[in-house]
Each structure stands twice: as structure tokens, then as C-alpha cells.
């Protein structure tokens, strides 16, 4: 017997099945935009050390007196303010000649490595050597690093003894290491490299030796005194006068970096500071007249006015 399909009933069944399948299907997830990975801020790189600018800023701002202190004034200060006396000579020089009572001996070549032995950057320090040459360089080094109360003993320990001021047989014990002050690390590294490599003689030339050299090698004589000093006291023949505060603004007036230059001032203090600045900038044949024009005149060498 032939069965007749009930069409409407089949349609209902199919509709129910479609609804069930639709209900069981996994819902389509709502798209979520990707989260951007946070990018850390880029650190601003530290500018490279511009040693020329640093030295020019320092020399341009030198005060009256250029940081020197006379022996008598230091002797008075010792009785009152108790400054830290920094003897930058070699230990053998102290053994032979003595020192100032209480002075601490840190040779100039080791100075930048021993900042932790010095007092705070705002405390009084007086640097001292034999004639004032290394003392001026030590003062310049510390002032460049941010020490604000540093002087150099004018004409050094020789002048102290000549003034019949008290002499001790030995240096004081080295202070215990403290915390080194915060300084510019690149500048400290540059100064340490320079000081550590100082040659025998520390860059000085005696008046007689300069007089002989002038007859042969014809060095460039750089007189860094004030124009009034040159006018009143005269100068070495052929010297070019560029006051110390203006030297680094006038490098175009100097010879090439490998040519002989001798820096001259009154007693050797500014000459040493100028020599140090030029050598640090790559001038390879610079010296300072030991004792300055005072020593030149004492040797009865010729002066022009």
C-alpha cells in the first residue's frame, strides 16, 4: 500500500531542527582590537664632553688674583679657618725639604684618583708644590670638577720657607677614604688621563733654557698677563700678549698644535694653568716659564717695553 507524506508536518520538523542547530552553534566572538605593546621612553643621550668649551668657560671666569694665596695670608688662614693643605709634590721632595704642618701628600699625578681623600667640595683647600706650578694645576683640576674653595700657594713651598714660616719634617697621615663627590665622569676621566701622563719636570722650562731655545728653535712666547702688567713691567722680545681669560677664544692666533709654545705670566701660576689647558686640548709642545717674568728678571735676561 502507498504511503502519502504529510508535507506540512515535515516542514515543522525541519524548522525545529534548524532552530536547535542554530542554538547549539558557538556564538561568533566580538572582535577585540589588539593591544599595542607599550614602548619605553627613549633616554636622551648625554652630550659628548666639549672640553674646549669647559676650559674656556673656566678660564674666562677666573677671579681677581687668579686663585693664588701668599704664604703670609695662608699662615694666618691656618690659624683660623684650618684649610686642608694639599701637598702635590712627590714624597721624596717632602723627605728632603719638609712641608707645612698638617699637609696631606697626594702627588699631582694621583690627584684625580683620590678625590675621596679630600674634604667636601665647598670646604677650603690650598694646593701646594715647590714653586707654584703643580699647585696651580691641582687648583685648576679641582675647580674644573666643581670644588668652589680651592687656592694655590703662590710660589709654592719655596716661598713659604723663604718667609721663615714653620716647616714640618713629614706629611700628615693620609685621611681615611670617604665618599667621592659627584663630578662629571667624562671630565674626571679626561683630567685623570692628563695628570697621570705628566712628564718629568711637569712641563716647566727655566729662564736660562728658554733664552737658549729662543736663539735656536724660536718658540712662540705666549704672555698671558694683563696688558697693564706688560705695559708696566715689559715682556720677553717677540712675545704675543693674550691675557689668560681670552686665550681659548684666540686659538687662531697660536701656531699649529705641534709647534713649540711657552706660556709666560708673572710668577708661573697663570702660565701653568694656560699650559695645562692647551695640552689638554692636544697641543703637544707647550711649556710654562718656571717662576714667570719674576724669575726671568732675576736672571737679568733681556726685556723689551
Model pLDDT for residues 270-302, shown as the tens digit of each residue: 999 999 999 999 999 999 999 999 999 999 999
Last residue of a domain, one of 147, 172, 196: 196
The set of residues, in sequence order, having a beta carbon less than 8 Å from that of 274 and lying 6+ positions away, is 59, 222, 224, 244, 247, 263, 265, 288
User: Could you tell me if residue 110 is inside a domain?
Assistant: yes
Last residue of a domain, one of 196, 223, 251: 196
* Sequence-ordered strand ranges (E) for 106-181: 125-128, 150-153
User: Could you tell me if residue 38 is inside a domain?
Assistant: no
Could you read off the pLDDT of 163-217 as tens digits, one per residue? 999 999 999 999 999 989 999 999 999 999 999 999 999 999 999 999 999 988 8
Rounded Cα distance between 125 and 81, Å, is: 10
Whether 104 and 215 map to the same domain: the answer is: no
Lowest-pLDDT range, 41-50, 187-196, 201-210, 249-258?
Answer: 41-50
User: 288 — phi, psi (to 5°)?
Assistant: -125, 135
CB 144 within 8 Å of CB 58: yes
Rounded Cα distance between 153 and 131, Å, is: 9
Whether 189 and 213 map to the same domain: the answer is: no
pTM for the model: 0.85
Rounded Cα distance between 121 and 142, Å, is: 9
User: Could you tell me if residue 261 is inside a domain?
Assistant: yes
Range of the domain at 292: 204-298
User: Could you tell me if residue 109 is inside a domain?
Assistant: yes
- Cα separations (Å) of 259 from 218, 262, 275, 292? 10, 10, 13, 21
User: Could you tell me if residue 37 is inside a domain?
Assistant: no
Whether 264 and 284 map to the same domain: the answer is: yes
Whether 171 and 265 map to the same domain: the answer is: no
User: Could you tell me if residue 164 is inside a domain?
Assistant: yes
Whether 186 and 235 map to the same domain: the answer is: no
Is residue 113's pLDDT more than 70?
A: yes
User: Could you tell me if residue 10 is inside a domain?
Assistant: no
Last residue of a domain, one of 140, 175, 196: 196
- Tell me the pLDDT band of 10, cut-offs 50, 70 and 90: low
Whether 58 and 177 map to the same domain: the answer is: yes
Which CATH number covers residue 265?
Answer: 3.40.250.10
Is residue 16's pLDDT more than 60?
A: no
Alpha helices (H) along the chain: 7-24, 51-60, 71-80, 91-97, 133-144, 156-162, 185-196, 207-214, 227-233, 269-280, 292-298
User: Could you tell me if residue 133 is inside a domain?
Assistant: yes
Whether 170 and 281 map to the same domain: the answer is: no
Give the chain's domain count: 2
- CA-based R_g, the chain, Å: 37
Amino acid at each position: 500500500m502507498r504511503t502519502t507524506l504529510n508535507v506540512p508536518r515535515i516542514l515543522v520538523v525541519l524548522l525545529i531542527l534548524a532552530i536547535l542547530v542554530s542554538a547549539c552553534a558557538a556564538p561568533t566572538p566580538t572582535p577585540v582590537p589588539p593591544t599595542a605593546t607599550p614602548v619605553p621612553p627613549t633616554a636622551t643621550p648625554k652630550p659628548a664632553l666639549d672640553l674646549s668649551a669647559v676650559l674656556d668657560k673656566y678660564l674666562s671666569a677666573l677671579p681677581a688674583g687668579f686663585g693664588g694665596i701668599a704664604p703670609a695670608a695662608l699662615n694666618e688662614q691656618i690659624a683660623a679657618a684650618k684649610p686642608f693643605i694639599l701637598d702635590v709634590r712627590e714624597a721624596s721632595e717632602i723627605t728632603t725639604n719638609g712641608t707645612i704642618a698638617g699637609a696631606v701628600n697626594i702627588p699631582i699625578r694621583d690627584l684625580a684618583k683620590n678625590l675621596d681623600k679630600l674634604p667636601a667640595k665647598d670646604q677650603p683647600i690650598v694646593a701646594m708644590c715647590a714653586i707654584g706650578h703643580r699647585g696651580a694645576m691641582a687648583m685648576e683640576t679641582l675647580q674644573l670638577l666643581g670644588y668652589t674653595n680651592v687656592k694655590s700657594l703662590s710660589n709654592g713651598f719655596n716661598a713659604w720657607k723663604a718667609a721663615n714660616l714653620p716647616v714640618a719634617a713629614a706629611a700628615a697621615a693620609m685621611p681615611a677614604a670617604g665618599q667621592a663627590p659627584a663630578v662629571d665622569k667624562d671630565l674626571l676621566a679626561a683630567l685623570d688621563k692628563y695628570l697621570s701622563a705628566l712628564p718629568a719636570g711637569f712641563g716647566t722650562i727655566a729662564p736660562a733654557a728658554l733664552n737658549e731655545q729662543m736663539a735656536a728653535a724660536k718658540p712662540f712666547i705666549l704672555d698671558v698677563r694683563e696688558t697693564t702688567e706688560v705695559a708696566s713691567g715689559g715682556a720677553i722680545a717677540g712675545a704675543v700678549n693674550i691675557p689668560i681669560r681670552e686665550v681659548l677664544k684666540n686659538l687662531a692666533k697660536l701656531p699649529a698644535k705641534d709647534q713649540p709654545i711657552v706660556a709666560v705670566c708673572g710668577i708661573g701660576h697663570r702660565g701653568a694653568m694656560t699650559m695645562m689647558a692647551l695640552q689638554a686640548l692636544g697641543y703637544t709642545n707647550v711649556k710654562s716659564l718656571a717662576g714667570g717674568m719674576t724669575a726671568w728678571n732675576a736672571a737679568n735676561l733681556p726685556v723689551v717695553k
